[in-house]
């Protein structure tokens, strides 16, 4: 009976209604978020901003996932094209099978293409992402723990991994211990995913320290070369502990050979970059200039959009004010029509007001009704002012005529009275 061991999780999926979410996918997503966060912090220190990292991520992450899956398909083709293989399983990445080498290669190519398009110094993004990649890979290894996969040979160590056969859909329960024999149910295994997780976290801290201490000695891109050397150095010995199926060459697992080859390439790349590369300070100054230019372009674009919006709002406001002026004119006409006044010549003052208003409107250019709503409202107001003055004059004239008629009546009365007295 084992007194100390690392238990396997009791679940590997989360179900929310009809949707099933696999913990493997959640760990991959968390790994991407962590990598973006760390890369952004480091990228800003050399002159970049978050928007640039986000754009690079949108390009690099899909490329990396495709590359990682293709590497797994190429190195284990019998799982997909053999007698018992299923080509449809190629797209089922939640079942495991992402090769880091293909992910780094295609992801880096995608990032390089975007950086070249935007004129970002590619060596700086490599150095900024180096420790972020190790942190992301460490978090991603937790997905192997939920899948109960990628464990090592049997062990009696107190940190051995104990599988949980009661979890449906996990991968590791079908792994073989050695010589194609099924492992006993009470066997503990080397938690190789945990070894790699710890190794990656140590490497991330080491790269951050080296970046601070050697910033004036390392050329841009050297830190990424250190990432390659550190990861492959650990992957070589950890890979030798694993018992999951893998192709071998000369009795050594293919991934071990790949780790050795990539490590050597990393050493060669470090020497070449250190000799022919550009200093980080020079590329950082260039990135600062690019970032300022992008910020100015965004600011100019926002100001232009705001200016166009103000013009649209002003045009809409002019049309509304023109409509309000027309409504007020109609209201004034209605008010005058409610109390018509008749002049001594028998013509209603409403008709005169309407004629005056028509004359005022007809006197203005017809295009002003659409091109200058303010002028139209002013003309209408002047017309009604003149109408009011005309009505006042008509009223005064009517009063004067009434007074003259009264005087004439009085004279006639006096004449009649005089003739009566003479008779």
**Which of 122, 56, 60 is closest to 280 using CA atoms?**
122
**Which of 404, 101, 137 is closest to 260 using CA atoms?**
101
Q: Is residue 116 part of an annotated ligand binding site? A: no
Query: Where exactly are the structural domains of the chain?
Result: 6-164+186-278, 298-422
Per the listing, tokens 């009011």 go with 388
Per the listing, tokens 């910020």 go with 295
Phi, psi for 189 (deg, rounded to 5): -125, 155
The enclosing H or E element of 150 equals none
pLDDT tens series, the chain, 423 aa: 456 778 878 787 888 888 888 888 899 999 999 999 999 999 999 999 999 999 999 999 999 999 988 888 888 887 788 777 778 878 877 666 778 888 889 999 999 999 999 999 999 999 999 999 999 999 999 988 888 877 888 888 888 888 777 766 666 555 555 545 566 667 888 899 999 999 999 999 999 999 888 878 889 999 999 999 999 999 999 988 887 777 778 888 888 999 999 999 999 999 999 999 999 999 999 999 999 998 888 888 888 888 888 888 888 876 666 666 656 656 655 555 544 444 444 444 444 444 444 444 444 444 333 343 444 445 445 554 665 566 566 556 555 555 554 454 455 444 544 444 444
Q: How many residues does the chain have?
A: 423
Q: For residues 76 and 310, is the Cβ–Cβ distance under 8 A? A: no
For residue 168, CA distances in Å to 10, 148, 186, 396 come to: 9, 11, 18, 105
Q: Which residues on adjacent β-strands are paired with residue 249? A: 252
Cα–Cα distance, 194 to 189 (Å, whole number): 11
Spacing of C-alpha 121 from chain mean position: 23
Cα–Cα distance, 247 to 346 (Å, whole number): 115
Spacing of C-alpha 264 from chain mean position: 39
Q: For residues 127 and 133, is the Cβ–Cβ distance under 8 A? A: no
How would you list the strands of the sheet with 6-7, edge to edge? 6-7, 161-162, 188-189
Cα–Cα distance, 237 to 304 (Å, whole number): 59
Cα–Cα distance, 286 to 279 (Å, whole number): 11
> pTM to 2 decimals?
0.70
> Within 13 Å and on the Cβ side, how many CA atoms surround 381?
10
């Amino acid at each position: 009976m084992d007194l100390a061991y690392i238990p396997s999780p009791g679940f590997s999926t989360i179900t929310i209604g009809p949707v099933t979410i696999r913990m493997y996918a959640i760990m991959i997503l968390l790994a991407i978020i962590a990598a973006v966060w760390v890369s952004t912090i480091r990228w800003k220190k050399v002159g970049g901003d978050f928007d640039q990292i986000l754009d690079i991520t949108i390009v690099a992450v899909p490329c990396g996932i495709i590359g990682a899956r293709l590497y797994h398909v190429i190195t284990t083709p019998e799982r997909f094209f053999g007698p018992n293989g299923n080509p449809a399983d190629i797209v089922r990445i939640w079942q495991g099978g992402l090769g880091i080498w293909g992910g780094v290669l295609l992801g880096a190519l995608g990032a390089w293409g975007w950086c070249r398009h935007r004129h970002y110094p590619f060596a700086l993004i490599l150095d900024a992402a180096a420790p972020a990649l190790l942190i992301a890979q460490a978090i991603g290894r937790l997905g192997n723990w939920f899948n109960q996969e990628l464990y090592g040979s049997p062990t009696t160590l107190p940190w051995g991994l104990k599988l949980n056969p009661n979890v449906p859909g996990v991968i590791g329960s079908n792994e073989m211990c050695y010589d194609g024999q099924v492992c006993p149910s009470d066997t503990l295994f080397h938690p190789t995913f945990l070894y790699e997780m710890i190794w990656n976290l140590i490497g991330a801290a080491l790269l951050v320290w080296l970046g601070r201490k050697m910033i004036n000695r390392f050329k841009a891109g050297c830190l990424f070369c250190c990432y390659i050397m550190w990861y492959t150095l650990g992957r070589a010995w950890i890979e030798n502990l694993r018992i999951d199926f893998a192709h071998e060459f000369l009795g050594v697992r293919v991934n071990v050979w790949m780790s050795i080859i990539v490590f050597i390439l990393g050493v060669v790349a470090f020497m070449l970059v250190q000799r022919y590369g550009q200093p980080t300070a020079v590329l950082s100054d260039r990135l600062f200039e690019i970032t300022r230019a992008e910020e100015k372009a965004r600011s100019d674009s926002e100001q232009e959009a705001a200016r166009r919006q103000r013009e649209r709002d002003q045009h809409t406001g002019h049309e509304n004010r023109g409509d309000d002026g027309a409504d007020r004119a109609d209201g004034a006409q209605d008010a005058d029509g409610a109390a018509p006044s008749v002049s001594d010549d028998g013509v209603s003052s409403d008709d005169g007001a309407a004629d005056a208003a028509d004359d005022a409107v007809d006197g203005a250019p017809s295009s002003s009704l659409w091109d200058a709503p303010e002028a139209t409202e002013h003309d209408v107001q002047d017309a009604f002012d003149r109408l009011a003055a005309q009505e006042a004059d008509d009223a005064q004239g009517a009063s004067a005529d009434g007074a003259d008629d009264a005087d004439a009546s009085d004279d006639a009365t006096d004449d009649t009275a005089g003739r009566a007295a003479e008779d």
